[in-house]
């Protein structure tokens, strides 16, 4: 092996910044992401990088390996197909069918523990806050909460009867303002049983009620087996205007036309519908509706790499500024691979 592998399969950080690719603030003269055979080439101004078999190479007078981004055998070793149905292989448990179509209304849940498990729609949650600022600490807290050994420390996820779009309950997500220098706050419901790859359609529909705060992102579709979880996400700017961002390399964005100026309102239920056609070229497409008004309809690359699988979905406060409280309710979540 050319370089030492460093796999962190559950690192779900919304602000993706692999050292090799630079940070989001880096100014580059020319940016492109191109699939060439079995390689993904990233051109960043006068710098060229290639990803092949999970390894990032610097390309110049020579081709030098500088980063192990993912295990190239992960998908082959983790998934199997039978009668056109894809299953995730869970060691010591068996095979679980991936979730490409499901509905969640939260009505049957009394606590977040009722929502997470092998026989329901979600497999995890992320509550990164002042009391659990690191990956290790919020993973440990999650395990303790799911075992009934601890309550939430600050950020919370709770089924709620206080507000609901339909039925009897919604899900309340909350992040508390921090004082310890945390970069980002999170309170999301997650599943690592999704499977969306090249040529697939990802459809999402959900109702959101923003009570307080300014969440930075609401939906993250990621490759959890890759370092830093690259993928595609629905974001909100400081004025709560939505956009969709490919969380990879120079982070190309799909934005509303200049003449369109919509923001996510506070204090009311809002319907968001998202369609992403996944392609590693400009044949990809993003469409976003808010309350049946189409805000974005744009072609562009929507898959990080030709062989990437988006196997993780996070919904809720997937990122929020740490200097304010944020309260977001969600209800009637639907995911589909064939249209909504």
Q: What is the domain-level CATH number for residue 195?
A: 2.60.120.200
Give yes or no for a contact between 125 and 113, defined as CB atoms under 8 angstroms apart.
no
Helix (H, G, I), strand (E, B) or coil at 335: strand
Let me know if residue 279 belongs to a domain.
Answer: yes
Query: What local confidence, expressed as pLDDT, does residue 24 receive?
Result: 38
Let me know if residue 81 belongs to a domain.
Answer: no
- Residues 82-103 have pLDDT tens digits of 999 999 999 888 899 999 999 9
**Residue 147: both structure tokens together:** 């075992």
pLDDT over 50 at 250, yes or no:
yes
Distance CA 138, CA 153 (A): 10
Give yes or no for a contact between 231 and 220, defined as CB atoms under 8 angstroms apart.
yes
Let me know if residue 182 belongs to a domain.
Answer: yes
Question: 232 and 111, same structural domain?
Answer: yes
pLDDT over 50 at 2, yes or no:
no
Question: 216 and 118, same structural domain?
Answer: yes
- Residues 284-331 have pLDDT tens digits of 999 999 999 999 999 999 999 999 999 999 999 999 999 999 999 999
Query: What local confidence, expressed as pLDDT, does residue 157 receive?
Result: 98
Question: 320 and 186, same structural domain?
Answer: yes
Domain boundary among 29, 47, 68: 68
Question: 171 and 125, same structural domain?
Answer: yes
- Residues 215-224 have pLDDT tens digits of 999 999 999 9
Give yes or no for a contact between 320 and 175, defined as CB atoms under 8 angstroms apart.
yes
Query: What local confidence, expressed as pLDDT, does residue 165 receive?
Result: 98
Query: What local confidence, expressed as pLDDT, does residue 68 receive?
Result: 94
The percentage of residues in the chain with a pLDDT greater than 70, rounded to a whole number, is 91
Average pLDDT, integer, range 132-147:
94
In the chain, DSSP finds a helix count (H) and a strand count (E) of: 2, 23
Question: 174 and 133, same structural domain?
Answer: yes
pLDDT over 80 at 69, yes or no:
yes
Let me know if residue 318 belongs to a domain.
Answer: yes
Of 30 and 257, the structure prediction assigns the larger pLDDT to: 257
Question: 330 and 268, same structural domain?
Answer: yes
Average pLDDT, integer, range 156-168:
97
Query: What local confidence, expressed as pLDDT, does residue 47 receive?
Result: 87
Give 304-329 as a 3 state SS string: CCCCCCECEEEEEEEEECCCCCEEEE
Distance CA 310, CA 114 (A): 25
Distance CA 51, CA 89 (A): 26
Give yes or no for a contact between 335 and 313, defined as CB atoms under 8 angstroms apart.
yes
- Placement of tokens 């849940």 in the chain: 109
Q: Report residue 31's pLDDT band, with 50, 70 and 90 as the boundaries.
A: confident
Let me know if residue 136 belongs to a domain.
Answer: yes
Question: What is the rounded average pLDDT for all residues in the chain?
Answer: 90
Let me know if residue 263 belongs to a domain.
Answer: yes
Under DSSP, the state recorded for 83 is T
pLDDT over 80 at 7, yes or no:
no
pLDDT over 50 at 3, yes or no:
no
**Residue 226: both structure tokens together:** 């890759």
Of 166, 264, 165, nearest to 213 by C-alpha is: 264
Q: What range defines the domain where residue 30 resides?
A: 19-68
Query: What local confidence, expressed as pLDDT, does residue 93 receive?
Result: 83
State the total domains in the chain: 2
Give phi and psi for 139, each to the nearest 5: -70, -40
- CA 39 vs. chain centroid, Å, equals 24
pLDDT over 90 at 19, yes or no:
no
Question: 143 and 37, same structural domain?
Answer: no
pLDDT over 60 at 1, yes or no:
no
Question: 299 and 219, same structural domain?
Answer: yes
Phi and psi based region of residue 339 (left: phi greater than 0; alpha: psi -120 to 50; beta: remaining)? left
Let me know if residue 77 belongs to a domain.
Answer: no
Give yes or no for a contact between 317 and 326, defined as CB atoms under 8 angstroms apart.
yes
Query: What local confidence, expressed as pLDDT, does residue 30 receive?
Result: 66
Distance CA 101, CA 108 (A): 19
- Residues 171-201 have pLDDT tens digits of 999 999 998 889 999 999 999 999 999 999 9
Question: 31 and 146, same structural domain?
Answer: no
Distance CA 24, CA 26 (A): 6
Under DSSP, the state recorded for 122 is B
Helix (H, G, I), strand (E, B) or coil at 140: helix
Query: What local confidence, expressed as pLDDT, does residue 46 receive?
Result: 84
The percentage of residues in the chain with a pLDDT greater than 90, rounded to a whole number, is 84
- CA 128 vs. chain centroid, Å, equals 15
pLDDT over 80 at 339, yes or no:
yes
Query: What local confidence, expressed as pLDDT, does residue 128 receive?
Result: 95
Question: 184 and 328, same structural domain?
Answer: yes
Average pLDDT, integer, range 232-240:
97
Give yes or no for a contact between 248 and 69, defined as CB atoms under 8 angstroms apart.
no
Alpha helices in 129-242 (DSSP H): 135-146
Let me know if residue 209 belongs to a domain.
Answer: yes
Question: 63 and 109, same structural domain?
Answer: no
- CA 136 vs. chain centroid, Å, equals 19
Query: What local confidence, expressed as pLDDT, does residue 8 receive?
Result: 28
Question: 226 and 127, same structural domain?
Answer: yes
């Amino acid at each position: 092996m050319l370089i030492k592998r460093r796999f962190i399969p559950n690192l779900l950080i919304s602000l993706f910044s692999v050292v090799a690719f630079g940070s989001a603030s880096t100014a580059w003269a020319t940016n492109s992401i191109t699939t060439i055979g079995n390689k993904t080439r990233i051109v960043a101004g006068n710098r060229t990088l290639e990803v092949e078999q999970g390894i990032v190479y610097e390309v110049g007078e020579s081709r030098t390996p500088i980063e192990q981004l993912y295990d190239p055998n992960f998908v082959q070793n983790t998934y199997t197909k039978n009668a056109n149905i894809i299953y995730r292989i869970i060691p010591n448990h068996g095979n679980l069918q991936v979730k490409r179509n499901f509905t969640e209304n939260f009505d049957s849940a009394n606590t977040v523990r009722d929502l997470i498990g092998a026989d329901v729609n979600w497999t995890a949650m992320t509550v990164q806050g002042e009391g659990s600022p690191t990956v290790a600490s919020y993973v440990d807290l999650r395990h303790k909460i799911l075992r009934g050994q601890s309550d939430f420390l600050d950020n919370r996820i709770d089924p709620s009867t206080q507000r609901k779009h339909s039925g009897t309950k919604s899900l309340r997500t909350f992040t508390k303002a921090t004082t310890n220098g945390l970069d980002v706050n999170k309170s999301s419901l997650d599943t690592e049983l999704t499977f969306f790859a090249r040529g697939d359609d990802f459809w999402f529909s959900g109702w959101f009620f923003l009570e307080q705060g300014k969440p930075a992102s609401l939906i993250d579709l990621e490759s959890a087996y890759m370092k830093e979880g690259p993928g595609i996400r629905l974001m909100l700017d400081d004025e709560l205007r939505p956009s969709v961002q490919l969380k990879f390399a120079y982070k190309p964005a799909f934005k509303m036309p200049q003449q369109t100026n919509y923001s996510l309102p506070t204090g009311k239920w809002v319907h968001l519908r998202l369609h992403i056609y996944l392609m590693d070229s400009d044949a990809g497409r993003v469409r976003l509706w808010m309350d049946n008004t189409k805000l974005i309809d744009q072609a562009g690359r929507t898959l990080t790499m030709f062989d990437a699988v988006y196997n993780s979905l996070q919904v809720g406060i997937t990122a929020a500024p740490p200097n304010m409280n944020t309260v977001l309710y969600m209800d009637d979540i639907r995911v589909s691979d064939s249209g909504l």
